[in-house]
Amino acid sequence: MKAIVVKPPKPGVEVRDLTQVIRHGSGTVKVRILENGICGTDREIVRGELTTARPPEGRDWLVLGHEALGIVEDSSDPRFKPGDLVMPINRRSYHGKCLNCLVGRPDFCEANEFVEAGIIGMDGFMVEYWYDDPKYLVKVPKNIADIAVMAQPLSDLEKSVEEILNVQRRLIWTCDDGTYNCRRSIVFGTGSTGILISLLLRTIGFEVYVANRRDPLESEAKITEEAGIIYYNYSKDGLDKLKSMGFDLVVDTTGASASLIGHEIEMLKPNGILGLFGFPAEGELTLRYDVIQRFIYKSNAIVGLINGQKPHFQQALAHLAQWKSIWPTVANSLITRVVDVNDDKELMQVLNRKEKGEIKVKIKWS
């Protein structure tokens, strides 16, 4: 059984023929892999940079991959039948005792009890087939199969937007027509995370700016134009202009320097909220007393955003179906490259580095 295997924390990746059967939880549903998405986390593991990555207990290797679309081959669970398209949930808690784990929300685990497929202590889904637990499978509508692999990264952002709106329930944040149409947001970063959360905020009515340090690539220009998102080049037009405009919501997806966060805080309007999604890779943040005074005076908030759960996968699939209908160019632009799993050279290339203009690369298995 073919699998893409890593040995964290050591760098490297290999295609291996596994003799061992992969089984998660009850293992009552046999899933054959159709496609995997690749993201920055996979590449950090391949390069040996993700220090939290570890194999399941008792061995030194781990099947990579947390973004997957599969097809049910066999099932003893009545909710799934052969031929169903399914997507596995990546963060799970099999033995978690904290209340959040017990109610199916290990994204809020308080005791570090969870595992993450292809990342922390649990095999991922870059493998020909595996036996899975119906609790952690979501059915995928067949008419969005071509872009469905986006639902895993999108699920994290569905949860992020839900969390932002939940924090903002501390006040009346909707407009005088009951929508979010009067709210202005800006998303820093135009990777797949930045693009997806921008689309999501547009979908629920926000005015959306998306910011990067360069002009938009062709794919980004097409997406932002169709969805009515304003692209902002802050190396050209500066951060000060954004501070004087003011934003109700700022989202950082860059994973760039921590110092950018200081600028983002200064862009917040009264009651505005800053959501942090990208992990800064360097730098430090120093806030002057007067910036902190203004933050308090304006009742601002900062919230950390991570990991969607099963309800968010379901919302993500519904939004992908919606976008396919209202924004066909957007839907057609999300997958920027498809790689055949049997093409070793190309496979190693995409597992090792991001390419220019990439939104989502997927590996095709059949």
| Site residues, Zn ion (CB under 5 A) | 96, 98, 101, 109, 111, 113
φ, ψ (nearest 5 deg) of residue 25: 55, -130
Q: Smallest distance, Å, CB 315 to Zn ion? A: 23
CA distance 314 to 311: 5
Query: Of 133 and 220, which has the nearer Cβ to Zn ion?
Result: 133
Which CB sits closer to Zn ion, 216 or 311? 311
Would you say 91 or 362 has its CB closer to Zn ion? 91
| Stated length of the chain | 366
Calpha distance 310→84 (Å, rounded): 17
For Zn ion, the closer of residues 109 and 119 by Cβ is: 109
Q: Six-digit token pair at 150?
A: 């986006």
Phi, psi (deg, nearest 5) at residue 19: -95, -25
* CB of residue 344 to Zn ion, shortest distance in Å: 39
Give me the least distance between CB of 189 and Zn ion, in Å please: 29
**Order of all β-strands in the sheet with 115-117:** 91-92, 115-117, 121-122
Q: Which is nearer to Zn ion, 107 or 163 (CB)?
A: 107
DSSP annotation string for 273-292: EEEE-S---B------HHHH
In angstroms, give the least distance from the CB of 107 to Zn ion: 10
Per the CB < 8 A criterion, the answer to whether 126 and 33 are in contact is yes
Instruction: Give the span between the Cα atoms of 275 and 58, in whole angstroms.
Output: 38
User: What's the closest the beta carbon of residue 112 comes to Zn ion, in angstroms?
Assistant: 7
Using the Cα atoms of residue 59, residue 65, residue 68 and residue 71 in order, give the sign of their dihedral: negative
Specify the residue, 110 or 237, whose C-beta has the smaller distance to Zn ion.
110
Distance CA(322)–CA(320), nearest Å, equals 5
Q: How far is the CB of 94 from Zn ion (least distance, A)?
A: 11
Query: At closest approach, how far in Å is the CB of 159 from Zn ion?
Result: 16
CB nearer to Zn ion: pick between 110 and 240: 110
Task: Collect all residues with Cβ–Cβ distance below 8 Å to 9 and sequence separation of at least 6.
Answer: 48, 50, 51, 53, 54
